[in-house]
Chain A
Amino acid sequence: MIRFDGVSKAFGATRALDGFSLAAGRGLVYGLIGPNGAGKTTAMSILATLLLPDAGTATVDGLNVVDRAAEVRGRIGYMPDFFGVYDGLRAGEYLEFFAAAHQIPVQRRPGLVKTLLELVNLPDKAGVYVDSLSRGMKQRLALARCLVHDPDVLILDEPASGLDPRARAEMKEIIRQLKRLDKTVLISSHILPELAEICDRVAIMEAGKLVVSGPVAEITAVSQGARRLCIEVLDRATELAGFLSTRPGVSEAHADGTAAGFFFSGDRKEQAALLQAVIEGGWSVVECGEVRRNLEEVFMAVTGEGGENIDGN
């Protein structure tokens, strides 16, 4: 559905994208992650036909975004990271304007506007001036605007940026609903736990390149190397940490309250042997399990120092 093949783009001496490749199939929610300047917005702008790639090709549904830009525009809905609304237009008129701009027949527009406003939970706002809506409402209206021509692909650049928790939850729910409608969604966000919740796959970018991509669970597992384990005991946790640090395959063992956390590079059989040794050592084990790293930790790990920038837009 969406494909980047070795796409490069430079702005003067700055290489915003450097041989970037990515493919996302129909009905997938694909998250783009990266620090500021990683090239996420540039990649999205190329797909939205707003920028021309210097090298490589980008396609939507097999259509080249350069040669067949007009057709591509009929298949995508684009929501930029920063966007404004028109003063002096009501929400219904705003959507009707974009419906007309996408050549939707006049007779279909009133029903379409009503359906879209219901989809984004703004059913009673059709007659309200757009500039008087709250930021969250404007974001949802912008999402409705993206859907006005029923595109197969949605390109959402930081759709939850600047929203309060409630508005973010609503936005998340709408994106889930879009997935159920079999839309392909390419989404970037700096709120990584949220991306992990809604995305089928994620791609981590840095300096215009793709660092790693795949399903969220796979990425977190692959990037870990050594697994992080935690053994909770009734008492003597500090002593347990000392014991663990003497065992093969264990590193960075430390006590944390009634538990001992550590990295373990052995396989499952060796893990079972380690647990057996702990029990035989006299510790009363309450629980033993693997601590999964979240997407943010993975992001920090794979992007190194660049990951420190992941705090804003």
Chain B
Amino acid sequence: MTEINPVLLKELRQRFRTDKTPWLLSLYLLVIGFFVLGFMYLNWRQLPGIFQPNSSHVLFVMLCITQLVLLGFVVPGLTASVISGERERQTLNVLLTTRLTTRQIIWSKLVSSCAFVVLLILATLPLYSIVFMSGGIAPGQVLGVFGFYLVTVFLFGSIGVTCSSFFKKTSVSTVTAYGLAFAFSAGTGFLAAFLYETSRANHVNWNPAAWTGFTAGVVEFLQHINPVFVLMEIMGEKGILTGVNFGLPGWGIYSIVCLAAGILLLRWSARLLRAK
């Protein structure tokens, strides 16, 4: 029988023994529940009990965006200390003299942090059920959103772990991880919108469907790697229209980019831990 990675087991044991874990879980549910249930109350208080698929769809979008924002706060915060924290506690050198490879250490640290984030996501399932029961959402969309979250958590987690391996201090690592996650989430979207608007302003007869070329390709690519645009696409919303087609759906490109970037970052992190 294959034994569970010792670092992973230790991390899970430590994480679920602290008082912080149930508090964080409760706070997470409280924040997301407050937004969603509050929105439901405001939206449906006029016409209680009436089936409103459009309203339900808006609620679903809101729930998904709120979840994404919260994940953007939680994942870098959880992962940005996994290695630098070991360094600060002076436990890293001892760990590095065991038979565990640096790659095993890095992956198990990421998996244990992600396991907790997956628990947070799963804990919000009852909220999704409420929205889902109101109609206006396809089961495939819900599954797509959950797949999207997993891919996003992997990338955000990899960014956090890499910052943690690169920087000696957890404070610097955390700030950098948040900065990079924000640049990835918001920066790509702003840049896509900026390029689109400047291109449109330079054309007299603007026809977005016929807009091709380098800038159009960049805008198309940027919105395919932007979590908000991809999430909207999964939920059936339209993004910025261009004449460029990469031959893959937006979420496909997003998944490939996130997984490839995450794997490269983790390989680099493992290299950073090796003897110098």
Q: Which residues of A contact B3 (CB under 8 A)?
A: 100, 106
B70 interfacial by beta-carbon distance below 8 Å: no
**Cα distance A76–B173 in the bound complex, in angstroms:** 32
- Which of B27-35, B89-97, B121-129, B155-163 is the interface stretch? B89-97
Q: Determine if A283 is an interface residue (Cβ-Cβ < 8 Å).
A: no
- Min CB–CB distance A127 → chain B (angstroms): 14
Contact B97 A78 (CB under 8 A): yes
**Are A50 and B90 CB-contacts (below 8 A) given A86-B10, A87-B14, A93-B13?**
no
**Bound-complex Cα distance A76 to B93 (A):** 13
Could you say which residues of chain A place their CB within 8 Å of the CB of B205? none
Kindly list chain A residues whose C-beta atoms are within 8 Å of the C-beta of B275: 49-52, 66, 69
The chain B residue sitting closest to A96, CB to CB, is B6
Among A51, A73, A89, A101, contact of B13 (Cβ-Cβ < 8 Å):
A89
Given A52-B275, A88-B17, the answer on whether A145 and B99 have CB atoms closer than 8 Å is no
Chain B residues contacting A87 (CB-CB under 8 Å) are 14, 18
A157 to chain B, nearest CB (A): 10
Q: How far is the CB of A60 from chain B (nearest CB, A)?
A: 12
| Residues 65-94 of A contacting B (Cβ, < 8 Å) | 66, 69-70, 73-74, 76, 78-80, 82-89, 93
In the assembled complex, which residues on chain A have CB atoms less than 8 Å from the CB atom of B90? 80, 82-84
Q: Is A292 an interface residue (CB 8 A)?
A: no
Chain B residues with CB below 8 A from A149, complex form? 99
User: Would you call A147 an interface residue if the criterion is a C-beta within 8 Å of the partner chain's C-beta atoms?
Assistant: no
Instruction: Give CA–CA (A281, B101) in the complex, Å.
Output: 76
B17 and A78 contacting across the interface, CB-CB below 8 Å: no
Q: How far is the CB of B154 from chain A (nearest CB, A)?
A: 25
Q: What is the CB-to-nearest-CB distance from B139 to chain A, in angstroms, rounded to a whole number?
A: 39
User: Quick check: is A103 within 8 A (CB to CB) of the other chain?
Assistant: yes
Quick one: CB contact mask for B74-108 with A, threshold 8 Å, 1 for yes?
00000000000000011101111111110000000
Docked CA distance A76–B14 (Å): 27
A102 with B98, Cβ < 8 A, contacts A88-B14, A89-B13 known = yes
For A45, the chain B residues whose CB sits under 8 A away are: 93
Q: What total count of A-B pairs have CB within 8 Å?
A: 75
Q: Give the residues from 34 to 54 in chain A that come closer than 8 angstroms, CB to CB, to chain B.
A: 45, 48-52
Which residues of A lie under 8 Å from residue B98 when comparing CB positions?
73, 98, 101-102
Assess the B6–A89 pair: CB atoms within 8 A: no
A76→B99 contact, CB < 8 A: no
When C-beta atoms are compared, the residue in chain B nearest to A97 turns out to be B10
- A48 and B9 CA atoms in complex are apart in Å by 25
Chain B residue at smallest Cβ distance from A46: B275
Q: When the two chains form their complex, are residues A78 and B94 in contact, meaning their CB atoms are under 8 A apart?
A: yes
B99 cross-chain contacts in A, Cβ below 8 A:
70, 73-74, 101-103, 149
Known: A51-B275, A89-B10, A106-B3. A101 touches B95 (CB 8 A): yes
**Residues of chain A contacted by B10 (CB below 8 angstroms):** 86, 89, 93, 97
**B20: min CB distance to chain A, Å:** 10
Asked if B7 is at the interface (CB within 8 A of a chain A CB), the reply is yes
Can you name the residue of chain A whose Cβ is closest to the Cβ of B95?
Answer: A101
CA distance A89 to B276 in the complex (A): 30
Taking CB atoms, residues of chain B closer than 8 Å to A69 are 275
B4 CB to nearest chain A CB (Å): 9
User: Which of B89, B93, B275 has the most chain A CB atoms inside 10 A of its CB?
Assistant: B275
Residue of A nearest to B275 (CB): A52
Bound CA–CA A9/B24 (angstroms): 46
Q: How far is the CB of A84 from chain B (nearest CB, A)?
A: 4
Q: How far is the CB of B251 from chain A (nearest CB, A)?
A: 38
Residue from A80, A84, A87 with most neighbouring chain B CB atoms (10 Å): A84
Contacts of A106 in B (CB 8 A): 3
Q: Which residue of A is nearest B89, CB measured?
A: A84
**Residue numbers in B under 8 Å from A49 (CB-CB):** 96-97, 275
Given the interface pairs A69-B275, A101-B6, the reply to whether A83 lies near B13 with Cβ below 8 Å is no
Given A70-B99, A97-B6, A101-B100, A88-B18 contact (CB < 8 Å)? yes
Chain B contacts for A101, CB-based, 8 A? 6-7, 95, 98-100
Instruction: List 26 A-B residue pairs with CB atoms under 8 Å apart, sorted by A's residue number.
Output: A45-B93, A48-B93, A48-B97, A49-B97, A74-B99, A76-B97, A78-B97, A79-B94, A80-B90, A80-B94, A83-B90, A83-B91, A84-B89, A86-B10, A87-B18, A88-B17, A88-B18, A93-B10, A93-B13, A97-B9, A100-B3, A100-B6, A101-B95, A101-B98, A102-B99, A149-B99
